Amino acid sequence: MDRYLTDQEKLLAKSLLKNIDFLKDLPDPELDQLANSLEKKNFKPEQTVVFQGEISSKLYIVCDGLVGVFVRIGGEKKKVAELRVGDYFGEMSLLEPATASATIRAEKPSVICAISCDNFKKIVEKNTVALETLKKKITARKEASKPK
């Protein structure tokens, strides 16, 4: 990631963090800490944010732009979703490093903010509600991604 956020960007980031389902109940001081821990990077169209299969240990938030979600199935790369401002990815690696289940690529000029697993844990570890909500979300995602 390139750099830390300006004060104005931190305010935007905090509002985006508040809208993430497993963070919405965090008290303001913890949301402020998360926003202060974010790093941002600008991506050009077609630039890859994360490659499917790479080890990841960050939560990523789309702060501006549009990214595509691509999955390799039988040697063919298929676009399965688009993520817009406020959407996030990488949450499955927040509790422990995990391999990325998809390639995320900028579709338009985009700004992606990220927080490391370690920083996330330090800030949220005392909030059992947030951690339980995150664990449930990860379990549901894993179940949904199993072959049927």
Q: Would you list the domain boundaries of the chain?
A: 3-143
Give the pLDDT confidence score for residue 86 in this predicted structure. 95
pLDDT over 90 for what percent of the chain?
49
Q: Given 1.10.150.120, 2.60.120.10, 2.60.40.10, 2.60.120.380, which CATH number is that of 3-143? A: 2.60.120.10
Measuring CA to CA, which residue among 96, 13, 2 is closest to residue 58?
Answer: 96
Give the pLDDT confidence score for residue 133 in this predicted structure. 78
**CB under 8 Å to 136, separation ≥6 — which residues?**
none
| Predicted TM-score (pTM) of this structure | 0.86
For 14-72, what is each residue's pLDDT tens digit?
A: 999 999 888 888 888 888 999 999 999 999 999 999 999 999 899 999 999 999 999 99
CA separation for the pair 123, 121 (Å, rounded): 5
129's tokens:
């509600």
Distance of CA 30 to the CA centre of its chain: 17
Q: In the structure, what pLDDT confidence band is assigned to residue 110 with cuts at 50, 70 and 90?
A: very high
Mean pLDDT of 74-78: 89
